[in-house]
Amino acid sequence: MAVKVLLEKCIGCGACIDACPFGALVLLDGKVDINEACSQCGACVDVCPENAIIREEVAKEAAMDKSQYKDVWVYVEIAEGVPRNVSLELLGEGRKLADATGERLGAILIGQGVEGVAATLFANGADKVYLVEAPELAHYNTDGYTTVVTDLIKEFKPSVILLGATNDGRDLGARVACRVGTGLTADCTDLGIDSETGLVAWTRPAFGGNIMATILCPEHRPQMGTVRPSVFKKPIPDATRIGEIIRVSSMVKAEDIRTKLLNAIKVSAGSCNLDEAEFIVSGGRGMGSPANFRFIEDLANVLGGSVGASRAVVDAGWKPHMHQVGQTGKTVGPKIYIACGISGAIQHVAGMSSSDIIIAINKDPDAPIFNISDYGIVGDALEVLPILTEKFREIKGS
């Protein structure tokens, strides 16, 4: 809709000028004129005493033929020859979306020597695997992978594409969406099908996690979004499932790639690998000081797990943001989550409530964290943690 002035009715009273919050209206030769600052808010329409300002429907440009687009796709990230957990989680959720819309579930598999991964993708719900292999694609690179995925979309026209909200997924998703002229809903925490339109309903935190926004993409295809790791559970694999491998030749040349991988150096990142961790020990402000996080780290090391932290801890500078669990940090779903000195604010709970088992340690017996915990220990975490660590160490030693 556009706002338009009917000059034959305008008496130049100025009521609309006073009502406009953007300063978009001026008097020219005794008549109101609308400039480029107009946001189409309609405040002027409501106050005009002569009904000289109206809303007028603007003819839309010819829309794309959305009927050509079908099927749900998942971009599969590979790490050390196996799919990342988030990709398997998205296959499970993509299977639900595909079943709800009566479509097929496809998986995008890019790399070199990765064809053997297809069996895992079929077992986790995929009907088709779009396989693109080339030496230039052996490791993720922005230029090559963007070109490949863009070419796949243009050729096969999927209706929906799911990517993990990881470093690679966020990098790839934004570039591909721009190339194909569609929208991208980032960092989603829930997916569904809108009952009225049949479109994918993408849900994500907004305004710093204070509200949850549900976003639709009605006019463009494919519908694209990145989804946080550990929001959904991995499906139970069915080794009897088979599917179709569609081999696609890569059009990427070595000179098209502006970056070059010189070497891959493994670092000791296990303590903050929250996305893949089966055990997470998290600390809050109740730990008292940054130095006391050594008790958290000791228990995480014994369990072979990762160290998490609440937002208060990260804001205080005790731990870097990569350790933060919560609505504005990582969403995790380990087998066991141990919350130490964490009160249980709703923003933190939103990031870890899908854990299989939650154990809380807190001095306050009325702390909200106990309301969602499977097991609770009322006590000082600084006293409880060394005892737990030693006991687990004995059990592992035996």
Q: What are phi and psi of 366, to 5 degrees?
A: -100, 10
Predicted confidence at residue 209, as pLDDT, reads 62
Strand duo 128-133 + 105-111: pairing: parallel
**CA neighbor of 278 nearest in space, from 324, 358, 334, 233:** 334
Sign of the torsion angle spanned by Cα atoms 110, 215, 324, 362: negative
Predicted confidence at residue 42, as pLDDT, reads 84
Task: Tokens 């829309």: give the residue.
Answer: 63
CATH of span 66-256? 3.40.50.620
Helix (H, G, I), strand (E, B) or coil at 181: coil
Residues of the chain with CATH 3.30.70.20: 2-56
Residues of the chain with CATH 3.40.50.1220: 270-397
User: Was domain 2-56 assigned CATH 3.30.70.20?
Assistant: yes
Predicted confidence at residue 40, as pLDDT, reads 84
| Cis check: omega of the bond before 21, within 30 degrees of 0 | no
What is the chain's pLDDT, residue by residue, as a tens digit (398 residues)? 588 899 999 999 989 999 998 889 999 989 999 988 888 888 899 899 999 999 887 555 556 788 899 999 999 999 888 999 999 999 999 999 999 999 999 999 999 999 999 999 999 999 999 999 999 999 999 999 999 999 999 999 999 999 999 989 999 999 999 999 999 999 898 999 998 899 999 998 877 666 788 999 999 999 999 998 888 989 999 999 999 999 999 999 888 899 888 887 765 544 567 877 889 999 999 999 999 999 999 999 999 999 999 999 999 999 998 899 998 888 888 899 999 999 999 889 988 988 889 999 999 999 999 999 999 999 999 999 999 999 999 998 87
The answer to whether 172 and 78 are in contact (CB under 8 A) is no
Q: What is the DSSP letter of 62?
A: P
4 pairs with which residues across the strands?
54
Residue 56 exposed, middle or buried by CB count within 10 Å (0-12, 13-18, 19+)? exposed
CATH of span 270-397? 3.40.50.1220
Residues of the chain with CATH 3.40.50.620: 66-256
Q: In whole angstroms, how far apart are CA 199 and each of 67, 160, 215, 222, 315? A: 13, 9, 10, 11, 38
The answer to pTM > 0.85 is: no
